[in-house]
Amino acid sequence: MNAATKTSAANQSGTHRRVVSDRAASGTPGIQLSGVSKTYRSRDGDVPSLRPLDFHINAGEFFVVVGPSGCGKSTLLKMISGLLPPSTGEIFVEGEKVDKPHGNVGIVFQNSLLLPWRNVLNNVMLPIEMKRLSREEYLPRAKALLKLVGLEGFERKLPWQLSGGMQQRASICRALVHDPKIILMDEPFGALDAMTRERMNVELMRIQRETGKTVLLITHSIPEAVFLADRVLVMTERPGSIAAIYDVPLPRPRSLDAMADPVFTELVQRIRKHFFTQSTLD
């Protein structure tokens, strides 16, 4: 019997997941896309980036997207956040139609996008200011998050005084500081060294598990996708479409030992087969 179960794009509910199934049963909507496509219009002509996509992310689910460079992953994330309008289709987050940037998400962009004139702590506190929440109330949370990601003592530094990986860790704190229900992460660990990356993976899983947040994470790394995910969505080349969605039947909590599990290695192999002509994925 196959260790991993491939599910069709149209039938992704009813998985075995813990928080997921509990929350799905309680009727929490999560993220829903129907017929969502994107074609960028430019003076040089149209760039079809995403074919119409239909899928659902359960509330409390850890959902990971892998796909070749340029297949539309960042485009997908920007549309879900409300920063970019789809060309066709509709997106619902927590049951509400997305037609503008909305506050209930924390976003980690592909580049850390810290404001260069603000120190690390004030970059992390940005969502608190934008949402006009109490600085006093959230300051301890910001500091605790920075400590969690190993940036204690760097609060007063400016972004250029940090390495790329440190900047990315600060931007992860910024995405979490206002305690959003949904976290959208675009290759958040790409700039990290292998050891820090593994530590951050474990930490992110712990946060997600303890808080029941819905996470949509994009990565180029197939092993990282399988290690983190409840389900992995595999995309085709541009214009991106859904090649497959896989359940990851590894028990939780997961430690790094999970990567030695035959279920893990088999699923990594299966997903890799989608890209055997590609060199962009590791």
Least distance from Mg ion to the Cβ atom of residue 277, Å: 20
Given candidates 52, 70, 212, 223, which one binds ligand ATP under the rule CB under 6 A?
A: 70
Least distance from ligand ATP to the Cβ atom of residue 232, Å: 15
State yes or no: residue 34 binds Mg ion (CB under 5 A). no
Q: Which residue lies nearest Mg ion, judged by its C-beta?
A: 74
Least distance from ligand ATP to the Cβ atom of residue 55, Å: 16
Instruction: Provide the mask over 236-275, with x wherever binding to Mg ion is found by CB under 5 A and - wherever it is not.
Output: ----------------------------------------
**Which of the 8 DSSP states describes residue 260?**
G
Q: Which residues of 143-176 are buried (b: 16+ CB within 10 A; e: fewer)?
A: bebbebbebeebbeebbeebeebbbbbbbbbbbb
Given candidates 9, 21, 40, 196, which one binds ligand ATP under the rule CB under 6 A?
A: 40
Q: Which does 122 bind (CB under 5 to 8 A by kind): ligand ATP, Mg ion, none?
A: none
State yes or no: residue 111 binds Mg ion (CB under 5 A). no
Least distance from ligand ATP to the Cβ atom of residue 147, Å: 30
Site residues for ligand ATP, 96-135, by CB under 6 A, read 110
| Residue 213 CB partners (closer than 8 Å, separation 6+) | 60, 180, 181, 182, 183, 207
Sole window of 73-81, 146-154, 250-258, 264-272 interacting with ligand ATP (rule: CB under 6 A): 73-81
CA distance 159 to 170: 9
Q: Which does 11 bind (CB under 5 to 8 A by kind): Mg ion, ligand ATP, none?
A: none
Least distance from ligand ATP to the Cβ atom of residue 282, Å: 13
Ramachandran angles phi, psi of 115, nearest 5°: -80, 120
Nearest to 54 by CA among 111, 106, 105, 9: 9
Helix, strand, coil abundance in the chain, percent, nearest 5: 35, 25, 40
Contact assessment for residue 268 and residue 226, using Cβ atoms and an 8 Å cutoff = yes
State yes or no: residue 71 binds ligand ATP (CB under 6 A). yes
CA distance 251 to 129: 39
Least distance from Mg ion to the Cβ atom of residue 110, Å: 5
- Nearer of residues 4 and 218 to Mg ion, judged by Cβ: 218
| 3-class secondary-structure state, position 275 | coil
Given candidates 7, 21, 28, 74, which one binds Mg ion under the rule CB under 5 A?
A: 74
Place of tokens 């204690």: 152
DSSP-assigned states of every residue in 70-124: TSSHHHHHHHHHTSS--SEEEEEETTEE-SS--TTEEEE-SS----TTS-HHHHH
Given candidates 169, 174, 238, 254, which one binds ligand ATP under the rule CB under 6 A?
A: 238
Least distance from Mg ion to the Cβ atom of residue 72, Å: 8
260 CB burial (10 A radius; 0-12, 13-18, 19+): exposed
Q: Which residues bind ligand ATP (CB under 6 A)?
A: 40, 42, 47, 49, 67, 69-75, 110, 238
Site for Mg ion, rule CB under 5 A:
73-74, 110
